[in-house]
A and B are shown apart, each in its own frame.
Chain A
Amino acid sequence: MAYVATRGGERAIEQAERMYRAQTGRITPSRVKEIGAALPALVDRVMGEASLYAPDLAALALAQSGGDLYEALLLLRAWRTTQPRLQVAEPVAADEGFTHRRISAAFKDIPGGQILGPTLDYAHRLLATQVLEGEAYKPAAVTPAATPAPARHPSLAAWQVAQGLVEPPMADPVDRDAIPDLTREPLLFPAKRAHTLQSLARADTGGTLALGYSAMRGYGTAHPTVNELRLSEVEVRVRHPRGVTFSAGRVKTSQAEVVTTKGKDRLRLGFAATLGWNEVKVISAATLDLNSPGAPKNSPVNEEFFLYHTEPVESSGFCIHFKLPHYVTFQSSLDALRGAQAKKEAPTPAKTEETA
């Protein structure tokens, strides 16, 4: 009787929550601080999926959920949606950000140069087991380059447009303050371009990877080449009511541009960007974007298919909802099933008894 007790539901859920929280114990400011400092990649991932750039809140959500990413995300999204939308910030162009890392797989070298920046790409993935034996792991210090890389880098696509290799991007006639906002209106199809990019920006990293990977393996038509992958910090520039534009701070962003040669006579680009540094997500999301024009309905690279199914709060919530009791609907189907069985066993029923 614990599941649907006659009069015990309230107490049961309260105690069940306490049991979960007993595992993680007290949440202190120092724990939240430590999570933020020790797990920047995780904090970035959660901030991107929450579409809320707030490292402290993200660390708090991770502490509160005991590291359950979907729970942390829901905490942040449910908080975010109650906050007023004060302003639309100035648009940020690719070449304006303070670039930490920027690489292209399409050319050996590119205008502005290949900047490796912070990455584990070439690390040997060996567990530092000595830490468990009491010896701290101290990463070696970075030796600065003789000449520092420039902070700003031109966009490779701009070069390609100038060469006539890529269609120049279409001017978007939408006024800045009228940019459609996915968090304030439903996603409908065919989706507005802004909705598509916003939806990919807050998509589930794992879900985007699964569907993007299916496209990379051949369930899409276009094989991606990474035209440009960029990790930056960009200024959030907002307008003061007096008319002055000022920076409200910097946010980390990732953007990926993938390219295919399978165009009619030009290269085609796919694009994705998100808050925080999350390379797997933007590369797979850009691959989905690249493959979506003209994709067959109900294929993994169809826009409606991948945008609906990579929404992390919706997909994870629906998945866990199957734990809820479903005995009424089950009973209803059971009734139909037994009716069909009885029909099968009964000797040819009289015409008048024929009912559904």
Chain B
Amino acid sequence: MTLASLTRPWRAFSYGFLDASAKREMRRKMIKAVAVPGCQMPYASREVPIARGWGTGGLQVTLTLVNPKSVVKVIDQGADDSVNAASIRRFLTRVSGAGATNDTLAASLIQSRHRIPEEKLRADQILILQVPNPEPLRPVEPNMSAARQMHADADYGRLWLTLYEQIVRSGRVMQGASYPSMVNGRHVMSPSPIPRWDVPKLHMADHLTILSAGREKRIFAVPPHTRVEPLVFDDVPYRVEDHAGLTCARSGLTGYFMNEIPQDGGGSAHEVSDSELGVKAIRRAEGEDPEIGATWYVDGEMQR
């Protein structure tokens, strides 16, 4: 027996790029994050071959979970073909040999920036959200160690105050995306920055969602069947974006989150933000029969 027969030949990089020690840490921190829903777990956050702020947190999670049998879908702003989504998808398949898809129903791992697909996710799918800023308290407390203490004390008074001040000043809550939400009745999280439209999709969902901020080195999770409740006052209900009545100019879909496209000569057209759902609708209209899964929203109304 020679030494060479006991070892594998040298390779420039490990399977899935990250080395075993990095993956082990990721697995441990993911388990911790699942165990304490919504609580931010610090992790080392290795450098990866894309720039920080470009999905490195999500990428480290996906690289840890991916295997040759995985089918990955990567979206940015709802679109599979957005340039950075294309770049991440290419990297993932290149280092893991996993399959790639645009179809939400066919994916086992979905890495996303800023959106949750409109088709309902299943228990066998994992959603990985890229997070720029994991800290819901950042606007009221930029110092991370102080904010950490506030989470420990469940001290969220200043967040409530901010929402109250918005109502006093503007007549409504002005928070756009990333609406602060209470997870499992204990930790307030900043949901990626997904639009308000998508936050109810996390509540009591069948799928696991892992949120990972590579630059800020924090990971948190919403396990399946976990309460996710946006912070609201009893007399001021939560309100999603006013998109229920909009129609996609390309696919004819109505009742989903839309992109607004400014038009020459004033006015706006809209197109459905979940690009693959739009593609499926167009293919249907052209006589094909792509499978369209059940959607969270039907006719612009969230289904419970």
Interface residues of A (CB under 8 A from B): 3-10, 12-13, 74-75, 77-78, 80-84, 183-190, 297-298, 304, 308, 313-314, 316-321, 324-340, 343-344, 354-356
Chain B residues closer than 8 Å to A308, beta-carbon distance: 144
B64 contacts chain A at the CB level, 8 A cutoff:
no
Say yes or no: A82 contacts B77, CB within 8 Å: no
A-B contact list, 22 entries, CB within 8 Å: A3-B83, A9-B85, A81-B22, A82-B14, A82-B17, A82-B46, A184-B25, A186-B42, A186-B43, A316-B51, A317-B54, A321-B51, A328-B257, A329-B176, A331-B195, A332-B197, A335-B243, A343-B172, A356-B172, A356-B173, A356-B233, A356-B236
DSSP majority for the A interface?
Answer: helix
Alpha-carbon gap, A85 to B145, bound state (A): 29
Chain A residues closer than 8 Å to B56, beta-carbon distance: 317
Among B44, B53, B170, the residue within 8 A (CB) of A185 is B44
Say yes or no: B44 contacts A186, CB within 8 Å: yes
Say yes or no: A82 contacts B195, CB within 8 Å: no
B239 contacts chain A at the CB level, 8 A cutoff:
yes
Instruction: Name the 5 nearest CB pairs between A and B, nearest first.
Output: A317-B52, A321-B53, A333-B176, A9-B86, A332-B176
Report if A313-B175 is in contact (Cβ < 8 Å); known contacts: A13-B87, A304-B144, A356-B239. no
Which A residue sits closest to B241, measured CB to CB? A335
Say yes or no: A77 contacts B47, CB within 8 Å: yes
Alpha-carbon gap, A13 to B86, bound state (A): 8
Among A82, A330, A334, the residue within 8 A (CB) of B18 is A82
Alpha-carbon gap, A329 to B77, bound state (A): 9
Q: How far is the CB of B291 from chain A (nearest CB, A)?
A: 20
Report if A329-B193 is in contact (Cβ < 8 Å); known contacts: A84-B19, A339-B172. yes
Alpha-carbon gap, A298 to B19, bound state (A): 36
Report the contact-size class of chain B (Cβ under 8 Å from the partner).
35 or more
Alpha-carbon gap, A329 to B175, bound state (A): 10
Which B residue sits closest to A297, measured CB to CB? B143
Alpha-carbon gap, A176 to B44, bound state (A): 20
Chain B residues closer than 8 Å to A13, beta-carbon distance: 83, 86-87
Contacts A82-B46, A355-B236 known; 10 new A-B pairs at CB < 8 A? A184-B21, A184-B25, A304-B143, A313-B51, A317-B52, A328-B193, A329-B114, A331-B258, A332-B177, A340-B174
Q: How far is the CB of B160 from chain A (nearest CB, A)?
A: 13
Which A residue sits closest to B17, measured CB to CB? A82
Interface bits B51-80 vs A (CB < 8 Å: 1, else 0): 111101000000000000000000011110
Which B residue sits closest to A183, measured CB to CB? B44
Report if A188-B47 is in contact (Cβ < 8 Å); known contacts: A328-B273, A355-B237. no
Alpha-carbon gap, A4 to B261, bound state (A): 12
Among B22, B82, B114, B260, the residue within 8 A (CB) of A334 is B260
Say yes or no: B81 contacts A329, CB within 8 Å: no
Say yes or no: B87 contacts A313, CB within 8 Å: no
Chain A residues closer than 8 Å to B242, beta-carbon distance: 335, 338-339
Say yes or no: A81 contacts B143, CB within 8 Å: no
B227 contacts chain A at the CB level, 8 A cutoff:
no
Report if A304-B145 is in contact (Cβ < 8 Å); known contacts: A5-B81, A8-B81, A10-B86. yes
Alpha-carbon gap, A187 to B82, bound state (A): 33
Among B18, B45, B83, the residue within 8 A (CB) of A186 is B45
DSSP majority for the B interface?
Answer: loop
B171 contacts chain A at the CB level, 8 A cutoff:
yes
Among A189, A318, A325, the residue within 8 A (CB) of B82 is A325
Say yes or no: B215 contacts A314, CB within 8 Å: yes
B235 contacts chain A at the CB level, 8 A cutoff:
yes
Alpha-carbon gap, A334 to B243, bound state (A): 12
B49 contacts chain A at the CB level, 8 A cutoff:
yes
Chain A residues closer than 8 Å to B132, beta-carbon distance: 318, 321
Which B residue sits closest to A343, measured CB to CB? B171
Q: How far is the CB of B202 from chain A (nearest CB, A)?
A: 16
Q: How far is the CB of A8 from chain B (nearest CB, A)?
A: 7
Among B25, B42, B167, B177, the residue within 8 A (CB) of A328 is B177
Which A residue sits closest to B52, measured CB to CB? A317
Report if A335-B176 is in contact (Cβ < 8 Å); known contacts: A77-B47, A186-B43. yes
Say yes or no: B76 contacts A325, CB within 8 Å: yes
Which B residue sits closest to A302, measured CB to CB? B143
Q: How far is the CB of A94 from chain B (nearest CB, A)?
A: 30
Q: How far is the CB of A110 from chain B (nearest CB, A)?
A: 39
Q: How far is the CB of B181 from chain A (nearest CB, A)?
A: 14
B146 contacts chain A at the CB level, 8 A cutoff:
yes
Q: How far is the CB of A345 from chain B (nearest CB, A)?
A: 11
Among B51, B81, B176, the residue within 8 A (CB) of A4 is B81
Say yes or no: B51 contacts A340, CB within 8 Å: no
Chain A residues closer than 8 Å to B236, beta-carbon distance: 354-356
Report if A328-B114 is in contact (Cβ < 8 Å); known contacts: A186-B217, A317-B54. yes
Alpha-carbon gap, A319 to B53, bound state (A): 8
B259 contacts chain A at the CB level, 8 A cutoff:
yes
Among A7, A187, A332, the residue within 8 A (CB) of B196 is A332
Q: How far is the CB of B62 from chain A (nearest CB, A)?
A: 16
Alpha-carbon gap, A319 to B144, bound state (A): 20
Alpha-carbon gap, A188 to B77, bound state (A): 32
